[in-house]
DNA sequence: TCCGGGCTGTATCACCCTATACGAGATGGC
DNA sequence: GCCATCTCGTATAGGGTGATACAGCCCGGA
């Protein structure tokens, strides 16, 4: 597999095709790098099917700190949550690369469903998949153990930025312990210690400054 | 005041009516207390609209420990995630009280959407609301502080099940410290201690066994 | 009515995390 | 080459949490 993987997850090919088939109900739009698709707090009925690029979904806390929820790559949908329930956006979306999307509007969706009920089913499948991904993240974040939280982040990074390696999967991005700390809500020292421990457990390895996730018989 | 047991969230009345209007597409079922609606790992196209009772949704970790995601009370929907995406259930659902539901099956849903597109829209609104709730939970779970985690849960409960009270907002749901513990990923003892501390800080109060969130000048 | 079970409030102890500090090594600018 | 900065590794002290245990309370069942 030489194809570059982006984003924290993607949906299966069949579903992508089903969505693409209804592209005519939306309109194509482009967002330059570092522009905003939508912002936390605003009310909107629009949602987006990413064709190309990378969109960062994050929630800002009251104190200004940012929690990155997901990085959405090609063939994913974002913004549909607040588009369908009609409440203010609970997250912000920003293109962190030049991005192309199809913008849909939920306003006339009910009428579209009448003639294209399979589109409704596809959308429900997408939202269900998102629910699954988030629920599994919750399972890990529910733990107070730094090791669980850090492994969850590493696994997520693996899906985004790892390449195959004889011993497992190598993260091509270089993240500092400090960055891991802020992303997992722990301290820098704890990250250092935890990575040390993971290395002793043979779960990870450091190769040339990069983190390598060792192949495991592992489970869920 | 009697101790009412209710779930951790619910959907608005209008949406409930829209769902109820399509009850004929499902079938009524009853689950006795401590029976299982569905189990993590199984594949099923069924989902449930709770009419009466209380259903506990939880994820079991590889080590057997349980993370309670939600307590679904009357007029909520559960199980639709795995029902629509066709993958194994990522959570289990158990009736913790005698429960009545309408069981829907997604198998013929597309055909139903053709004649009743508004049903699809209603379902999308429900899944969107669930997505919102989970995302906001993630924001707070990113913190390791038990106090943050517990206050997040209390605030969530307040939005759904609190009534006005001279001193603030009174939660009409009764959740045990044990339940709070599994929902916030802390220990029962810590919950007790934290609630104690919150009481000393005048942020909450206990009235007749129910938690009262005191009015504050503060923000979220 | 009595009894048993679930819930809450404490207490104790061990452990791990956080904050803080300092040194070594790598890196980059001048 | 030299110094500033960043990053990683490590040490210490302090504190909060988890595990465990036990007592008091309320409530429901026999």
Which residues of chain A fall below pLDDT 50? 1-6, 218-220
Which of these, B123, B116, B90, lies nearest to A125 by C-alpha position?
B123
B182 beta carbon to strand D: under 7 Å? no
Task: Determine which of A131, A149, A150 to mutate to test the interface with B (most B C-beta atoms within 10 Å).
Answer: A131
Describe chain B by its helix, strand, coil percentages, rounded to 5.
40, 30, 30
How high is the pLDDT of residue B90? Answer: 92
Contacts of A106 in chain B (CB under 8 A): 121
Which of these, A220, A152, A153, lies nearest to B62 by C-alpha position?
A220
Q: Give the distance, in angstroms, between the CA of residue A10 and the centroid of all CA atoms in the same chain.
A: 8
Which residues of chain B fall below pLDDT 50? 1-4, 218-220
Largest CA-CA distance found in chain A, in angstroms, rounded: 59
Specify which residue's alpha carbon is closest to the C1' of nucleotide C8: B192
Contacts of A219 in chain B (CB under 8 A): 62
How high is the pLDDT of residue B58? Answer: 87
Residue B108 DSSP one-character state: G
Phi, psi values for residue A157, rounded to 5°: -65, -35
How high is the pLDDT of residue B80? Answer: 93
B82: nearest CA in chain A? A128
Q: Give the distance, in angstroms, between the CA of residue A59 and the centroid of all CA atoms in the same chain.
A: 13
Question: What is the rounded distance in angstroms from the CA atom of residue A43 to the CA atom of residue A106?
Answer: 12
Is B132's CB within 8 Å of A220's CB? no
Token readout for B62 is 């590889």
At B186 the three-state DSSP class reads coil
Q: What is the DSSP string of A51-63?
A: EES-EEEEEE-TT
Q: What is the DSSP string of A7-67?
A: SSB---HHHHHHHHTTGGGSEEEEE-TT-EEE-TT----EEEEEEES-EEEEEE-TTS-EE
Helices A117-141, A13-20: axis angle to 10 degrees equals 140
What residue has token string 């913190």?
B143
Where on the phi/psi map is residue A76: left (φ > 0), alpha (ψ -120 to 50), or beta? beta
**pLDDT per residue as tens digits for the range A140-149:** 888 899 999 9
Largest CA-CA distance found in chain B, in angstroms, rounded: 57
State, as a whole number of angstroms, the distance between the CA of A150 and the C1' of D13: 26
How high is the pLDDT of residue A1? Answer: 31
State, as a whole number of angstroms, the distance between the CA of B3 and the C1' of D28: 14
Report how far apart, in Å, the C-alpha atoms of B137 and of each of B84, B148, B153, B154, B216 are: 23, 11, 8, 11, 21
How high is the pLDDT of residue B1? Answer: 39
Phi, psi values for residue A92, rounded to 5°: -110, 150
Asked whether A174 and A207 are in contact (CB, 8 A), the reply is no
By CB atoms closer than 10 A (0-12, 13-18, 19+), residue B62 is: exposed
How high is the pLDDT of residue B42? Answer: 95
- Which residues are bridge partners to B48 per DSSP? B78, B103
Report how far apart, in Å, the C-alpha atoms of A54 and of each of A90, B55, B138 are: 19, 38, 21
**pLDDT per residue as tens digits for the range B47-64:** 999 988 888 888 888 777
How many C-beta neighbours within 10 Å does residue A205 have? 16
Cα dihedral across residues B131, B132, B133, B135: positive or negative: positive
How high is the pLDDT of residue A7? Answer: 53
Cα dihedral across residues B10, B15, B17, B22: positive or negative: negative
Which of these, A84, A143, A69, A42, lies nearest to B136 by C-alpha position?
A69
Q: Give the distance, in angstroms, between the CA of residue B193 and the centroid of all CA atoms in the same chain.
A: 24
Phi, psi values for residue B191, rounded to 5°: -60, -50
A207 beta carbon to strand D: under 7 Å? no
State, as a whole number of angstroms, the distance between the CA of B177 and the C1' of C7: 8
């Amino acid at each position: 597999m030489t194809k570059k993987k982006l984003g924290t997850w993607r949906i299966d090919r069949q579903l992508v095709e089903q969505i693409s088939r209804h592209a005519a109900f939306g309109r194509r739009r482009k967002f330059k790098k570092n522009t905003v698709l939508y912002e936390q707090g605003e009310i909107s009925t629009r949602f987006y099917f990413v064709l190309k690029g990378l969109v960062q979904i994050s929630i800002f806390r009251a104190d200004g700190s940012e929690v990155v929820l997901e990085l959405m790559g090609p063939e994913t949908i974002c913004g549909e949550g607040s588009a369908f329930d009609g409440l203010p956006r609970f997250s912000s979306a920003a293109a962190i690369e030049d991005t192309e999307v199809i913008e849909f509007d939920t306003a006339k969706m009910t009428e579209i469903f009448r003639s294209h009920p399979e589109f409704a089913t596809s959308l429900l499948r997408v939202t269900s998949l998102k629910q699954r991904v988030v629920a599994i993240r919750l399972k890990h974040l529910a733990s107070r153990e730094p090791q669980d939280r850090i492994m969850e982040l590493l696994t997520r990074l693996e899906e985004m930025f790892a390449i195959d390696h004889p011993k497992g999967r190598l993260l091509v991005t270089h993240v500092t312990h400090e960055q891991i700390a802020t992303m997992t809500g722990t301290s820098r020292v704890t990250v250092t210690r935890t990575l040390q421990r993971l290395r002793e457990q043979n779960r990870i390895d450091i190769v040339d400054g990069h983190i390598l996730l060792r192949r495991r018989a592992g489970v869920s």
